[in-house]
Chain A
Amino acid sequence: MTERTGSTPSQTVGPYLHLGLLWPDGPDVVPAGTPGEIWVRGQVFDGAGAPVVDALVESWQADPDGRFDHPDDPRGARRSTVVGFRGFGRSPTDASGRYALRTVKPGPLPGPDGTVEAPHLNLSVFARGLLHRLVTRLYFPDEPAGNEADPVLASIDPDRRATLVARGAPDGFHFDIHLQGEHETVFFAV
């Protein structure tokens, strides 16, 4: 249609991201006390196996009904039935590289050609030393049938698929992110 303009390039958040990007309620995809609330917790590691203490993990997800309150959802924007559901979370990593997000499990999503996407979170990782955010997906270990049928998981080398599946934890799920190394997480180009 009109002129095409090149995008503004990405740059690193640098070591002082906490100044500008932290919100007191950042980790709360849902308010505390929401029925069905879970915690997604994990650590971010670098190529030497050291915790990345200056990272930020952001999440984006559907609600438990598999809906988005967004005008571009072709099924129509719909306010979540979960009161206070924001779909979005952001957590800094602490001195041990740990992040934590309070959320609810998303529902499955319709995919192309009758496929179904298993419940998942999209995650962005920002840090000093990352010139562009990294994107990954978190899948849930208690959805074996859904994960088996998920078209995105199916596209991943079976040897690496496990890096996208969280582990169960007492209050939710545990999902470590390895920027490099033997257990390097699968990262996506979006």
Chain B
Amino acid sequence: MTETTGRGPTGLVLPTYRPDDDRTHPPLLSPEYGSTVLRAPTRPLVLLPQRLTEITGPLLGAERLGPLDHDLTRQHDGEPLGQRIHVHGRVRDGDGRPVPDTLVEIWQPNASGRYRHAVDNWPAPLDPNFTGVGRVITDADGRYRFVTIQPGAYPWRNHLNAWRPAHIHFSLFGRAFTQRLVTQMYFPGDPLFFQDPIFNSIPDPQARQRLVSRYDHTVSEPEWALGFEFDIVLRGRDSTPFEDGDDDDD
């Protein structure tokens, strides 16, 4: 049923995941982003064949979710300050298949660009009504939706006058260890992209644009919130045909 390659254990057949284009992900050593210099491994990565451990992964269920984890504007007694937004999208693999039942975790700063985190001490106000943490599970079509606040940009010390474009951190498990992804969603038209070494670390400019959400007026809610759509693509499965030439296409 699954299209697969790779002789598995004792003749069993494993699904495998094809490698991403080498211009999709940032090089680990991206010196413009200063923190990579002492942290990026200096030796080449060793290819790990995809075996049972790699083609399986944690399937984390709804027991990880609290009732308001999808709505970051309702997690406190009062309302957070800032522009309410809906963020929605689909999680698919590189062949267009939806990835259902996968845990999506997000975290972000508040409207003034400050994180509720002990290490964040830049002098912008904390919002007592905003934690900035959300979790959802994708539905059968791979869809997810959050309600939150438009995050603010904030300064950091990477280079002179360095500012992170507004962003929301996303973490996804997918279906297999190979599909695990942590990324960031950005907002369309942000004037800060040009000077951000994290966004620009992605070699392929088209791949970079996949991190920019789309304003979605159909999801904006009258007199309440703006809508943004952010689709996420996890690695596709390898589609090398079976040995007998059976081209499995489902």
- A31→B71 CA distance, assembly (Å): 30
Q: A7-B94, A75-B12, A130-B40 are in contact. Are A113 and B7 (CB under 8 A)?
A: yes
Which residue of chain A is the closest to B171 with respect to CB atoms?
A: A21
Which chain A positions have C-beta within 8 A of B233?
5-8
Q: A4-B236, A19-B107, A179-B40 are in contact. Are A111 and B2 (CB under 8 A)?
A: no
- A109→B232 CA distance, assembly (Å): 32
- Flag the segment in A10-18, A139-147, A168-176 that touches B: A10-18
Q: A113-B7, A128-B35 are in contact. Are A2 and B95 (CB under 8 A)?
A: yes
Are B26 and A20 touching (Cβ within 8 A)?
Answer: no
Which chain A positions have C-beta within 8 A of B105?
20-21
- A120→B53 CA distance, assembly (Å): 9
Are A189 and B48 touching (Cβ within 8 A)?
Answer: yes
Which residue of chain A is the closest to B211 with respect to CB atoms?
A: A9
- A58→B103 CA distance, assembly (Å): 15
Which chain A positions have C-beta within 8 A of B38?
46-48, 50, 129, 179-180
Q: A8-B183, A72-B176 are in contact. Are A187 and B26 (CB under 8 A)?
A: no
Q: Flag whether A82 is at the interface (Cβ < 8 A).
A: no
| Interface size, B (range) | 35 or more
Are B52 and A180 touching (Cβ within 8 A)?
Answer: no
A-side interface residues, number (CB < 8 Å): 77
Q: A5-B94, A74-B12 are in contact. Are A137 and B211 (CB under 8 A)?
A: no
- Flag the segment in B136-144, B187-195, B200-208, B221-229 that touches A: B200-208
Shortest CB-to-CB span from A70 to chain B, Å, is 4
Shortest CB-to-CB span from B171 to chain A, Å, is 6
Are B54 and A47 touching (Cβ within 8 A)?
Answer: no
- Interface SS of chain A: loop
Q: A7-B233, A11-B183 are in contact. Are A109 and B52 (CB under 8 A)?
A: yes
Q: A17-B107, A19-B115, A117-B51 are in contact. Are A127 and B39 (CB under 8 A)?
A: yes
- A180→B41 CA distance, assembly (Å): 5
From 89 to 130 in chain A, residues with beta carbon under 8 angstroms from any chain B beta carbon are 109-114, 117, 120, 122, 124, 126-130
The residue among A15, A58, A111, A112 with the most chain B CB atoms within 10 A of its own CB is A112
Shortest CB-to-CB span from A60 to chain B, Å, is 5
Which chain B positions have C-beta within 8 A of A60?
53, 56-58, 177
Which chain A positions have C-beta within 8 A of B28?
130-132, 134
Contact of B58 among A86, A110, A112, A127 (CB under 8 A): A86
Contact of B56 among A72, A179, A189 (CB under 8 A): A72
Are B39 and A179 touching (Cβ within 8 A)?
Answer: yes
- A151→B53 CA distance, assembly (Å): 14
- A105→B232 CA distance, assembly (Å): 34
The 6 listed contacts between A and B (C-beta, < 8 Å) are A7-B236, A109-B51, A132-B25, A133-B180, A134-B28, A180-B38
List chain A positions with a Cβ less than 8 A from chain B: 1-21, 23, 46-48, 50, 52, 54, 58, 60-62, 68-70, 72-75, 86-88, 109-114, 117, 120, 122, 124, 126-135, 137, 151-152, 155-156, 160, 179-180, 184-190
